[in-house]
Amino acid sequence: MTEPRLAAHGLHRMFAAEAGVRGIDLTVARGEIHAMVGLNGAGKTTLMRLLLGMLRPDSGVTRIDGHDIRTAPADIWARVGQLVDHPLAYGDLDTRTNLMLAARLHAVPRCQVTKSVERIIAELDLGRYACVRARTLSQGNRQRLGLAAALLHDPTVIVLDEPTNALDPAAVILIRETLLRRAGAGAGILVSSHHLDEVARVADRITVVNRGTVIGALDPHGVDIERGFFNLVHADNKRHDDRPAA
């Protein structure tokens, strides 16, 4: 049986005021785009940080292609591309130079760096900004730079937190096509978003998270997934509100 590209089992990490994630199981298969949706504060970003080893769980384990991330070798991590929180770039360096550095950090062979950088610049239509310093880019173009840095090494595990944040409609279409193409080539992709209509265009599965737990799933091809989403969240909130006080 083929291992999932990404798998979490019983991930649990709590903070003050009952914030965090509670015993989450989640998988992303090869060739799958798995979308995770929830209101602000639902735990989506915390979960992604746990999946990527940016946070240590109180309990539970994450595996990339079957390898426990606590002991996974460097070549396993080289297969991962991620953009969580804000895109990171050196403000005084231009777009092309930032991507050159990202390629080296992702262990792209020196002889392939230029080719990889020019290819992702073309793929995400960054050519006109290639010589523009990152600090002068608009928020949307800085987001595209961050996505380019996450994808230029052709990762097989892709984790993106609100990837279309601040993007104009043309850039949203570019990212949509890029993710579909990479999933078609066998990558496993996890995206979080609050744009239900957009994730429904690309997702094979949609998981709903609320108050740090998985509370259900939505059919990407459903007639009214927005109503389904709010029904799930409302029912979960009501269950919490109806619990007897401790």
Grouping H, G, I as helix, E, B as strand and the rest as coil, residue 204 is: coil
User: What token pair was written down for 53?
Assistant: 């080893």
User: What is the Cα Rg of the chain in Å?
Assistant: 18
Which pairing describes strands 188-193 and 33-37: parallel, antiparallel, or unpaired? parallel
Question: For every one of its 246 residues, what pLDDT tens digit does the chain have, with 9 covering 90 and above?
Answer: 689 999 999 999 999 877 899 999 999 999 999 999 999 889 999 999 999 999 999 999 999 999 999 999 999 999 999 999 888 899 999 999 999 999 999 999 999 999 999 999 999 999 999 999 999 999 999 999 999 999 999 999 999 999 998 999 999 999 999 999 999 999 999 999 888 888 999 999 999 999 999 999 999 998 899 999 999 999 999 988 876 655
Superfamily of domain 1-79+155-246: P-loop containing nucleotide triphosphate hydrolases (3.40.50.300)
The CA distance from 233 to 39, in Å, is: 9
CB of 173 within 8 A of CB of 105? Answer: no
pTM of the model: 0.95
Chain centre distance of CA 137: 22
